[in-house]
């Protein structure tokens, strides 16, 4: 079954579609078509059973699957021949999955999950009673200064708190699959990744708070240096600093602010200093607005009064310093 809705696709496939003797080969080809090159080792190949429900857009992919016992592996040679740097979030709903990667091992049962990178070799073994979700996450959404150390083969607690929220959102994405658009699917997936970053920082990175503080410091410095640039936004900061917008948002959220609020606050501070400086008295309010990154004098006046309780003109008449 397929439901095209712009770029959003829903597909269901099952080994029941083919002859029992061909089902193992069918499964290898099918999984390889929407993941990456891997090896498959089957407990039995004469009558293998499995099925997938796949939801995808150009950005994200969510697959719910179940199958008989099988072991997947990805070798260093396959990593080189078929590059894929993206992460997979693996969430078993029943059964057990054993994942080994980068010298670590995770034994996953319902209520736990892990991130695995297809950019490095791994081995994944599942038993015959396994049902699970696998969410493909672009590497750029997880990497960067907040997460330099890839969270490979790391068990995540999805049974309570933030982890349970992540698990519930993924389950709801699957349950409502026939009623979503590509925009809906991407928006929810974005929120899942944002929460997953927070969960990973909290559970897998004991120094996460320090990393967040470092990012916040760099962002504040960048805003101070570029506040007068009318093109300064959260997105432009992310490009300039080499991080994702989500990483910057997480760092500032911890500090109780947002990229937009921080930029506005720094621009208002800049205007206030210039209003109180005698060397800038030749500048009109309109000149100050444009020179400080505001789109107009009225936009400056509204924001300034909200912040300081007076208009720019009233503050200027209140006194200047040399």
Domain check: are 250 and 287 in the same one?
A: yes
User: Are residues 261 and 162 part of one domain?
Assistant: no
Q: Determine the distance from the C-alpha atom of residue 172 to the mean position of all C-alpha atoms in its chain, rounded to a whole number.
A: 18
Same domain, 78 and 122: yes
Same domain, 13 and 90: yes
Q: Pick from 160, 177, 206: which residue ends a domain? A: 206
Residues 199, 67 within the same domain: yes
In a domain, 221, yes or no: no
Q: Are residues 97 and 23 in the same domain?
A: yes
Taking the model in full, what pTM does it have?
0.63
Tell me whether residue 212 is in a domain: no
Q: Is residue 191 part of a domain?
A: yes
Q: Which of 65-74, 113-122, 194-203, 287-296 has the lowest mean pLDDT?
A: 194-203
214 in any annotated domain: no
Same domain? 176 vs 240: no
210-262: pLDDT as tens digits: 566 777 888 998 999 999 999 999 888 887 776 777 778 888 888 888 999 99
Instruction: Judge if 159 and 276 occupy the same domain.
Output: no
Do 240 and 184 lie in one domain? The reply is no
Q: What CATH number should be reported for the domain holding residue 245?
A: 1.10.10.60
Q: What are the start-end ranges of the H helices in 142-258? A: 161-175, 182-204, 208-226, 234-241, 245-254
Task: Flag whether 159 is in a domain.
Answer: yes
Q: Are residues 244 and 184 in the same domain?
A: no
The half-sphere exposure of 94 on its side-chain side, counting CA atoms within 13 A, is 10
CATH at residue 84 = 2.60.120.10
Q: What is the mean pLDDT of residues 38-51?
A: 94
User: What pLDDT sits at residue 5?
Assistant: 41
Half-sphere exposure (CA, 13 Å, Cβ side) for 272? 13
Single residue among 148, 175, 206 that ends a domain in this structure: 206
3 occurs within a structural domain: no
> 133: domain range?
9-206
- At 244 the pLDDT is 72
How far, CA to CA in Å, does 188 sit from each of 119, 157, 169? 25, 20, 8
Q: What does the alpha-carbon distance between residue 153 and residue 101 come to, in Å, rounded to a whole number?
A: 6
Q: Which of 190, 153, 151 is nearest to 170 (CA)?
A: 190
Which of 23-37, 188-202, 289-303 is the least confident region?
188-202
Instruction: Give a yes or no: residue 318 inside a domain.
Output: yes
**Whether residues 40 and 173 fall in one domain:** yes
86 and 232 part of one domain: no
Would residue 82 count as lying in a domain? Answer: yes
Q: State how many domains the chain has.
A: 2
């Amino acid at each position: 079954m397929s439901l095209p809705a712009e770029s959003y696709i829903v597909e269901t496939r099952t080994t029941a579609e083919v002859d029992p003797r061909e089902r193992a080969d069918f499964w290898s080809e099918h999984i390889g078509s929407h993941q990456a090159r891997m090896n498959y080792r089957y407990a039995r190949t004469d009558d293998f059973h499995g099925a997938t429900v796949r939801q995808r857009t150009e950005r994200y992919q969510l697959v719910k699957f179940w199958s008989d016992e099988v072991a997947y592996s990805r070798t260093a040679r396959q990593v080189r021949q078929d590059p894929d740097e993206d992460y997979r979030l693996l969430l078993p709903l029943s059964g057990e999955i054993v994942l080994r990667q980068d010298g670590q091992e995770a034994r996953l049962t319902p209520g736990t999950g892990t991130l695995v990178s297809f950019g490095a070799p791994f081995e994944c073994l599942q038993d015959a009673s396994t049902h699970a979700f696998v969410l493909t996450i672009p590497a750029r959404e997880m990497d960067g200064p907040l997460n330099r150390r890839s969270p490979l083969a790391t068990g995540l607690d999805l049974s309570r708190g933030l982890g349970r929220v992540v698990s519930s959102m993924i389950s709801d994405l699957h349950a409502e699959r026939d009623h979503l658009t590509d925009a809906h699917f991407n928006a929810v997936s974005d929120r899942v990744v944002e929460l997953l970053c927070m969960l990973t920082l909290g559970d897998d990175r004991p120094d996460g708070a320090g990393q967040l503080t470092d990012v916040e410091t760099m962002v504040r410095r960048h805003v101070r240096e570029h506040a007068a640039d009318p093109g300064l936004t959260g997105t432009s900061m992310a490009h300039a600093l080499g991080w994702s917008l989500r990483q910057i948002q997480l760092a500032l959220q911890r500090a109780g602010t947002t990229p937009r609020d921080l930029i506005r606050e720094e621009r208002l501070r800049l205007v206030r200093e210039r209003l109180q400086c005698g060397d800038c008295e030749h500048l009109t309010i309109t000149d100050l607005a444009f020179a400080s990154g505001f789109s107009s004098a009225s936009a400056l006046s509204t924001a300034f009064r909200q912040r300081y309780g007076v208009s720019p003109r009233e503050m200027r008449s209140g006194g200047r310093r040399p």
